Structure 1
Amino acid sequence: MLRMIHQLAQVLARVLKLNEEKRYDDALGAIHLSSRQLLGMDIGLLVSLSDEALIRVLSLGDRFDLEKGLVAAALLRMIGEVKAQQGDETATFHCRTTSLSLFLELPAHDGGTLPKEYYDLTEGVISQLSSYELQLPIQHKLFRYYEYAGRYDLAENVLFEMLQQEPGFVSAGVKFYTRLQAKSDDELNKGRLPRNEVEEGMRHLEQWLK
């Protein structure tokens, strides 16, 4: 995966340079070439599919192709950069949210530890979308991602955002706090959610259930 990330970084550097020169067609052409080479898919199809459809396309049965998922997410982020420069807000938002959904899908299928570069790419898209209200399915993925990444404080923040929209997530919240209760104080402090706040959150959800 690291090799693929480094290859994508080279494509991104070229796309950003072309963007700065306002050579948008050339930038999209570079992304299209990479998409054909790495995914066997042109960018017209890439941007037309929903995140759920892309996950199905990039899966063999129940097995999600991590490398292709990473490539699709990164290329969509690049297309979003070009569309942002062109002032196309609708296309920019679609590309970035689809990119984020794919990035957030990876931890659910990874059997080991994702490299730091994966988190850098993912956090970049999260930052770009920080002023937008994300759809509930993507928020749910973000909640799981933050727990996977050990950022329990941010996972808790997303949990309560979800609960405002869908109270049914309270059971997922109880399971979340139960998992945290089994962790050491050092792990919780590192995740910026000390034990007293975990217990407080659990009490809050237990009251919610009554």
Structure 2
Amino acid sequence: MFQRDYFMRMISQMTEAIGQVMGLRKQMKQEEALLVLEELLDKHFRLSGKLIRSLTDEDLMKVMTTNGIVDTDHLQAIAIILKQEALLHGELGRETECFGLYNRSLRLFLRLSLMKAEPTLVEPNEQIEELLELVREYELPVPTKRLLMEWHEAEGKYDQVENVMFELVKERALPAQDAAGVYARLLAKSDEELEAGGLPREEIRQGLAELSLDKKESVTKE
């Protein structure tokens, strides 16, 4: 009961703070809005905002895990706040900070979706789609692309799996044999699943052939 009451208070305070942030943004008071979000981070998560931003998403998940249970509610809240901070930094022309925070928020929402976390605050998949649009002009880091590829596969978006996979192969961030392993998993799907995912079986076979050709050319050059 106490935990539920605490959670409801946190939602109420977050809603109030986000509303305050939106009001400050309209008044062009982004720095003040950032202070509101900083206070929100410091107040609710047993960690300072500075520490939260310094931790990787993997480490943050470990910190937010008790007796093997991940506190997905708090992770959702943190991801929301980081996204709001990114918007503010973007409006202040701080592109590096803006993209870094968008990336952090995106990775948290990807992990929450892969965990099938209950959407108690927001729907992770909706946030992911929105964040992907916001970072469309940026080059995502390799670890984020790998996580994104995993998410696309879990969501049955097999054409998107292939798109990200070939980006990683071209960047030499994914060995051809690992990419072939992804194709092998997809070939185990039914024709109906593959069609629904935008990647018919014949296109997978063509992709495998292209992988083999690229591998042979690479060996020849060496």
Q: CA deviation at 1:199?
A: 2.0
One-letter amino acid of the counterpart of residue 36, structure 2: A
Task: Check if 1:187 corresponds to 2:201.
Answer: no
Instruction: Check the 8 A contact 2:76/2:121 in 1, yes or no.
Output: no
Distance 1:193 1:81, change over 3 A: same
Match of 2:106 in 1: 100
Q: CA deviation at 1:136?
A: 1.0
Match of 1:144 in 2: 150
Q: CA deviation at 1:119?
A: 0.9
Match of 1:176 in 2: 182
Instruction: Check the 8 A contact 1:107/1:148 in 2, yes or no.
Output: no
Higher relative contact order (CA 8 A, sep 6+): 1
* Alignment equivalent of 2:167, drawn from 161, 164, 183: 161
Give the distance between the partners of 1:10 and 1:182, measured in 2 at CA: 48
Give the distance between the partners of 1:123 and 1:109, measured in 2 at CA: 17
Distance 1:183 1:18, change over 3 A: same
TM-score for the superposition, normalised by structure 2: 0.77
Instruction: Check the 8 A contact 1:74/1:99 in 2, yes or no.
Output: yes
Q: CA deviation at 1:120?
A: 1.1
Match of 1:20 in 2: 26
Give the distance between the partners of 2:120 and 2:201, measured in 1 at CA: 27
One-letter amino acid of the counterpart of residue 20, structure 1: K
CA displacement, residues 51-92 of structure 1 (integer Å, 9 cap, x when unaligned)? 444344334487543322222222111100111111111211
State the identity %: 29
Instruction: Check the 8 A contact 2:24/2:33 in 1, yes or no.
Output: yes
Q: CA deviation at 1:149?
A: 1.6
CA displacement, residues 156-178 of structure 1 (integer Å, 9 cap, x when unaligned)? 10000000112643233222222
Give the distance between the partners of 1:94 and 1:144, measured in 2 at CA: 21
Give the distance between the partners of 2:119 and 2:187, measured in 1 at CA: 23
Q: Which of structures 1 and 2 has the bigger CA Rg?
A: 2
One-letter amino acid of the counterpart of residue 165, structure 2: L
Q: CA deviation at 1:124?
A: 1.3
Match of 1:39 in 2: 45
CA displacement, residues 120-168 of structure 1 (integer Å, 9 cap, x when unaligned)? 1111111111111121111101111111122111111000000011264
Instruction: Check the 8 A contact 1:5/1:117 in 2, yes or no.
Output: no
Q: 1:131 is paired with a residue of what secondary structure?
A: coil
CA displacement, residues 4-44 of structure 1 (integer Å, 9 cap, x when unaligned)? 99986775454333212212234223323432444233333
Give the distance between the partners of 1:186 and 1:115, measured in 2 at CA: 34
Distance 1:123 1:111, change over 3 A: closer
Instruction: Check the 8 A contact 1:83/1:89 in 2, yes or no.
Output: yes
Give the distance between the partners of 2:119 and 2:104, measured in 1 at CA: 23
TM-score for the superposition, normalised by structure 1: 0.81
Instruction: Check the 8 A contact 1:64/1:109 in 2, yes or no.
Output: no
Q: CA deviation at 1:180?
A: 1.5
Gaps of 5+ in 2: 1-6, 217-222
Q: CA deviation at 1:192?
A: 1.1
- The answer to which of 174-183 and 119-128 deviates more is 174-183
